[in-house]
Amino acid sequence: MENKTGKYFKYAIGEIVLVVIGILIALQINNWNENRLKLNKESAILANIHKEFKGNKKQLDSVLYQHNLAHNACKKIINFFPITSKPKPIELDSLSRYMWDSYGGMTFNPSQSSINALTNTSSFDIISNENLRDLLISWNDLIEDYQEEELRSRAYVWEQFDPYFAKHFDWDINFNDPRNNFDALQTLEFEYLIKNRSDLLDQILNSSGELQKVLETLDDIIALSKPKNN
């Protein structure tokens, strides 16, 4: 009886061990599947982020081209100050081109769909790279800070800059219309408008420091989200 009981217990213990091992293996397989699905989901999200932010970088490059064009145009107009009462035709041609370019007007409005999706689903934790996760979380605040300078500049153009031009010059600013008021080019008001426009563009491009942060963050996000097989 003792031998039979001992064999029974050994058999029971063996069965229990096998069951436990089976459960552990099943849990391990389940965890492996969950991790695999999580990695696949993260890879898909990172691919979307990478593509979106490469597009954002391209858009910002176009916007900065326009800002620099307008800024350089303002500086060239300033070089004409004070403008004489009878500018030479070659001077008028140059002023016409520079005044047209001084408008600019483009603003940076990056696509945010990938970040909005993470925000709406509270899924930032799926991003395993802590540095990338922090950059994505802070992106919206960074863009809002940068856009403050652009919005201030754009408001100035349409509220003060453009009304003065519309009052004194033809729509194309080509100076071909006899109704153009060339005396308006000699006023202190005109000089102030151009200098202030130049200063606002300088704040966007150089003074505030927000642009550099945006550029660095864009490059970091693009680099950290780059698919491993690329």
pLDDT in tens, 69-93: 999 999 999 999 998 877 788 888 9
Residue 92 CA to residue 98 CA, distance in Å, equals 10
* Residue-level pLDDT at 6: 62
* Residue-level pLDDT at 7: 65
* Residue-level pLDDT at 167: 95
* Peptide linkage before 87 cis (omega within 30 of 0): no
* Residue-level pLDDT at 138: 94
Average of per-residue pLDDT values in the chain: 89
Residue 18 CA to residue 8 CA, distance in Å, equals 15
Show the domains of the chain with their CATH numbers. Answer: 2-224 (1.20.120)
Residue 118: closest CA among 224, 55, 44: 44
Residue 135 CA to residue 118 CA, distance in Å, equals 13
Q: Is the pTM of this model over 0.85?
A: no
* Residue-level pLDDT at 84: 80
Which residues of the chain register pLDDT less than 70?
A: 1-11, 30-31, 33-37, 229-230
* Residue-level pLDDT at 2: 55
